[in-house]
Amino acid sequence: MQLSASLARDGLRRLGRAVVDGVLPPRCLACGDIVGEPHALCGRCWAAMTFFAPPWCVLCGLPFPHPVADDAVCGACAIARPHWDRARAVLRYDKHSRRLVLSLKHGDQTHLAHAFGRWMRRAGHEVLDSADLLVPVPLHWTRLFSRRFNQAALLAQAIHAAGGPPVAADWLVRRRKTPSQGHLGPLARQRNVAAAFAVRPGRELRGRRVVLVDDVMTTGATAAECARVLRRAGAGFVGVLTLARALRTGAQ
């Protein structure tokens, strides 16, 4: 009797899953093609993305084309040491990963953030493992109002859900609205973000190990300015973790 009841339950569960799968088959995060499991890329999109992997610059994670010592530093970091201690990203920012970044802003955010959070947790283990807090790059409140959510905060929550440190959601604030940076060069971006960020009064950062989280790092001006502010407030370590990162050289 009990056995047949449990068989019936199993049957119902299978049927339930088939119905759910039938209604909502899992789709590729980038192109929307049907895939075998949820929160995944199809084979074609997976092959098109450039996932960063060692050997890389110990500071900024820039991949090297050949094997190097574990503590090797790239030319850019050797010339001008960044304000942050270590930066890591999951994907190269190019025309393929741009689709993922844009769909996080406009698509099914919860579904995407879940997948990206797991990727970022894995790719960022060197900066996350000893971190106390995740600090998302803030939006100005007027932009937050029009967009309704901050994608950096969403990613930080997803990294935490994947086993990362807790999120200090409002510790860093954007004091003034900065014009969109899309069309600006590196120097203009630096000027654009100067004095744009501050640590919220009363938040104690002294000696804390924090990881700044954002969706994309392009010139690094925003991350550099946020890191400077966090460090001035006493942070003992500032890491940077982004979903995608643009490389200065090479075709996209």
Residues that bind Zn ion (CB under 5 A): 28, 30-31, 33, 42, 45, 57, 59-60, 62, 74, 77
Alpha helices in the chain (DSSP H): 2-23, 43-48, 75-79, 95-106, 109-123, 125-128, 141-147, 151-161, 186-193, 221-232
Q: Which is nearer to Zn ion, 45 or 158 (CB)?
A: 45
Instruction: Work out how close the CB of 100 gets to Zn ion at its nearest, in angstroms, rounded to a whole number.
Output: 10
- Indicate the pairing of strand 237-245 with strand 209-217: parallel
Closest separation in Å from C-beta 242 to Zn ion: 14
Comparison of 116 and 171: residue with beta carbon closer to Zn ion: 116
Cβ atoms of residues 211 and 165 within 8 Å: yes
CA-to-CA separations, 13 to 10, 153, 238, in angstroms, rounded: 5, 35, 47
DSSP symbols for 195-237: T-EEEPTT---TT-EEEEEEEEESSSHHHHHHHHHHHHTT-SE
Query: Quick one: 49 or 144, whose CB is closer to Zn ion?
Result: 49
Q: Cβ 240 to Zn ion, closest distance in Å?
A: 12
**Whose Cβ is closer to Zn ion: residue 90's or residue 196's?**
90
Specify whether the CB–CB gap between 73 and 57 falls below 8 A. yes
Q: How far is the CB of 173 from Zn ion (least distance, A)?
A: 28
**Closest distance between Zn ion and the C-beta of residue 83, in Å?**
13
Give the C-alpha separation, 138 to 220, whole Å. 15
The answer to whether 155 and 117 have CB atoms below 8 angstroms apart is: yes
Indicate the residue among 77 and 169 with the shorter CB distance to Zn ion.
77
